[in-house]
Amino acid sequence: MRSPTILLLLLASFVGLSTSTIYWKNHVKTVQTQANLILFALRHKDVSLFYSLMPSAQEVEDFLVDHEAGIISVQVQTAESIGNVINGVLTVEEQRGLQVTYDVQVELTPNVSSPTGYIITKGHFCHFGDCKYHNVKF
């Protein structure tokens, strides 16, 4: 006969692993929701929503304003948290004659006044295609 203790430990390890996987997916979902709402606010000229989601990332704001009409999609590639800050890498697809993609690194910090609970506090375009949060320092 097998010990019920071993079975309980095995079950607990599976629960722990599945929880960490779900936790990681939530960061990707959080960054994707943030990106979708920012694009929505930009397309619908909702200035208050736009600045409630991204009050201070000037480089990203300037790009979005200049390229608004050509943006096809924004897709999160990866996201992770360091403490309560979420770092994410997104790919922005733009159509202006040719289809062009840009990699963007963003930092989200908690903010109770934001509709999502986060604001983008920093943003950076990765010009050489090597856009990972450990490679690009804000």
Is the predicted pLDDT of residue 69 greater than 90, yes or no? no
Q: Look-up: residue for tokens 């295609």?
A: 129
Four-residue CA torsion sign, 49, 55, 57, 58: positive
Q: For residue range 106-128, list pLDDT tens digits in order.
A: 999 999 999 999 999 988 887 66
Window from 12-21, 36-45, 50-59, 75-84 with minimum mean pLDDT: 12-21
Is the predicted pLDDT of residue 46 greater than 70, yes or no? yes
Q: Give the integer Cα–Cα distance in Å for 13 and 69.
A: 49
Is the predicted pLDDT of residue 100 greater than 70, yes or no? yes
Which domains are delineated in the chain?
4-126 (3.10.450.50)
Mean pLDDT of 41-54: 89
CA dihedral 65, 58, 108, 99 (to 10 degrees): 40
